[in-house]
A = this chain, B = another copy of it.
Amino acid sequence: MPSSLSRAIDSYPNRFDPGALGALPEHLQETIRRRNEVLGPGYTLIYREPVEFVSGHGAHLVDREGNDYLDAYNNVPCVGHAHPRVVEAVSRQMAAVNTNTRYVQEALVGYAERLLATFPGGLSKVSLACSGSEANDLAMRVARFHTGGEGIIVTRWAYHGLTREVASFSPSLGPGSPLGPNVRLIDPPDPRLVAPGSTLAEHMRLQVRGAIDDLERHGYRLAALVADCAYSSDGIFTDPVGYMQAVVEEVHAAGGLYIADEVQSGFARLGDSMWGFSRHDVLPDIVTMGKPMGNGLPISGVVFRPEVAEEFGRSVRYFNTFAGSSVPVVAAAAVLDVFDEENVQQRVVENGTALRAGLEELTQASPYVAEVRGSGLYIGVEVVKDPETLAPDRARAEDIINDLRDRRVLISGTAKGAHVLKIRPPLAFSSADVARFLEAFAEVAKVRL
């Protein structure tokens, strides 16, 4: 196996190993063989036995045989698979018209107003795009333009997207995708990395300061620090909060911007606030969002402090054909409707708390679980070889993930070591779903933990 092959595969948690194709049920083999024949780069299935779904509702997915799976992994269908409110809005708009932002669209304006109303004052302009990658790409174009700097700081195993620019500051893509010479890495906010006698805020401040110094030593002024407020690919670090003020002070002192990447953490995922940055009581210069925004229709957004985007807007043409067109916008508006009507955020807090408490109880005696982390409905369970060294135990983590999949409960993995269980269900996850999840997890834990 060439080393580049092993490197790319290594970095993908819970991947399906194409070499295991022959062991799958016949009909799956056939579809996957045809798939391999026609699909180009970028297609990885997950689970030792991949799954195909034909319908869904709430946090449930149904396969061809009619089996019901509990979805504890997909963040995109945030208000639930095939939510009737979203289905109805999209179907109605499809039958009317789907035009672009070169024309006046009352619905676009109304949506922008509603979205911005969820932000603190000062963050008052929004541009739409199609994907989180496009949102982060635009955010960085604006940050570079506004600051005149090129330096970028991200966490050690961050993922921010897949355009060439954004991939250059997404270390989790692995060695096949080189980082830019203008990119510096810092630790995620893992309290276990803090030296005795110091604080997380001080630790993070020193790391940022060090990165800025090193950038400047190499001739790069800082453009921006970009941080996923859930540090998803680093292994999910949501708490404690409160260190970001120190970080943002350093960034601003160096003339850089703070870009809050809320593609994962936004839209109430973390429960106690609509946006992850709010938990830290700081004001970003730019906020990006995506995945759950349209409950699956491709739409993403970039929210700005107007000062940082004004000159860019005057100087650079930017027309994103599909972004802000009528259909994705009504989907996104329907998501906000459901947030209101179903009191989604409150449900996330309640069910997230119950889910985390249950997981803590089921894992507290295990020497193989270092931590249960997270907030709201974003939970990481760190699986290690032993509690002293904290060495990642990818094999055990993937056994758990696949044992759960065999019990028709869907999660996956994250972190550089691919050893952190990633539990990130649709926000439609109910208390009954919590109970079913914990029941399945308890069975698996008996064998694996």
Interface residues on A, range: 35 or more
Residues of chain B lying within 8 A (CB to CB) of residue A177? 315-317
A412 vs B62: C-alpha distance when bound (angstroms): 47
Chain A 118-138: CB-based contact to B (< 8 A → 1; otherwise 0): 000000111100111110011
Scan residues 313-327 of chain A and give those whose CB is less than 8 A from a CB of chain B. 313-323, 325, 327
A296-B98 CB under 8 A given contacts A104-B45, A113-B38, A319-B42: yes
Copies of this chain, tallied across the complex: 2
Task: State whether the Cβ of A11 lies closer than 8 Å to any Cβ in chain B.
Answer: yes
A34 vs B82: C-alpha distance when bound (angstroms): 32
| Cβ-defined contact, A317 with B174, below 8 A | yes
| Cβ-defined contact, B109 with A38, below 8 A | yes
| Cβ-defined contact, A41 with B90, below 8 A | no
| Cβ-defined contact, A134 with B105, below 8 A | no
Instruction: Closest B residue to A114 by CB, please name it.
Output: B38
Stretch at the interface among A163-171, A273-281, A347-355: A163-171
Which of B53, B132, B144, B312 contacts A321 (CB under 8 A)?
A: B132
Residues of chain B lying within 8 A (CB to CB) of residue A124? 38
| Cβ-defined contact, A87 with B95, below 8 A | yes
Task: State whether the Cβ of A7 lies closer than 8 Å to any Cβ in chain B.
Answer: yes
| Cβ-defined contact, B126 with A40, below 8 A | yes
| Cβ-defined contact, B316 with A8, below 8 A | yes
A106 vs B106: C-alpha distance when bound (angstroms): 38
Instruction: Closest B residue to A9 by CB, please name it.
Output: B314
| Cβ-defined contact, B51 with A104, below 8 A | yes
Task: State whether the Cβ of A44 lies closer than 8 Å to any Cβ in chain B.
Answer: yes
Task: State whether the Cβ of A366 lies closer than 8 Å to any Cβ in chain B.
Answer: no
Task: State whether the Cβ of A260 lies closer than 8 Å to any Cβ in chain B.
Answer: no
A44-B131 CB under 8 A given contacts A56-B97, A163-B137, A321-B76: no
Task: State whether the Cβ of A31 lies closer than 8 Å to any Cβ in chain B.
Answer: yes
| Cβ-defined contact, A130 with B127, below 8 A | no
A321 vs B138: C-alpha distance when bound (angstroms): 18
A314 vs B291: C-alpha distance when bound (angstroms): 26
Scan residues 40-92 of chain A and give those whose CB is less than 8 A from a CB of chain B. 40-46, 50-56, 61-62, 74, 76-77, 81-82, 86-87, 90-91
A65 vs B133: C-alpha distance when bound (angstroms): 38
Stretch at the interface among A212-220, A297-305, A382-390: A297-305
| Cβ-defined contact, B91 with A173, below 8 A | no
A113-B34 CB under 8 A given contacts A298-B322, A319-B42: yes
Which of B94, B98, B296, B313 contacts A40 (CB under 8 A)?
A: B313
Task: State whether the Cβ of A253 lies closer than 8 Å to any Cβ in chain B.
Answer: no
Residues of chain B lying within 8 A (CB to CB) of residue A5? 314-315
Which of B52, B62, B103, B327 contacts A296 (CB under 8 A)?
A: B327
Residues of chain B lying within 8 A (CB to CB) of residue A425? none
Q: Give 28 pairs: A residue, B residue, CB < 8 Å, sorted on A.
A: A4-B314, A8-B316, A34-B113, A35-B112, A39-B109, A40-B304, A40-B313, A41-B318, A45-B103, A50-B103, A51-B103, A54-B96, A82-B95, A86-B94, A87-B94, A91-B91, A91-B95, A130-B298, A130-B322, A131-B134, A131-B321, A133-B320, A134-B134, A137-B163, A173-B317, A174-B317, A176-B314, A177-B316
Known contacts A41-B304, A52-B105; 8 additional CB pairs below 8 A are A38-B112, A38-B125, A40-B313, A87-B95, A131-B321, A133-B134, A162-B318, A176-B317
The residues of A with any CB-CB pair to B shorter than 8 Å are: 2, 4-5, 7-8, 11-12, 28, 31-32, 34-35, 38-46, 50-56, 61-62, 74, 76-77, 81-82, 86-87, 90-91, 94-106, 108-109, 112-113, 116, 124-127, 130-134, 137-138, 140-142, 144, 162-165, 167, 172-174, 176-177, 290-291, 296-299, 302-304, 306, 309, 311-323, 325, 327-328
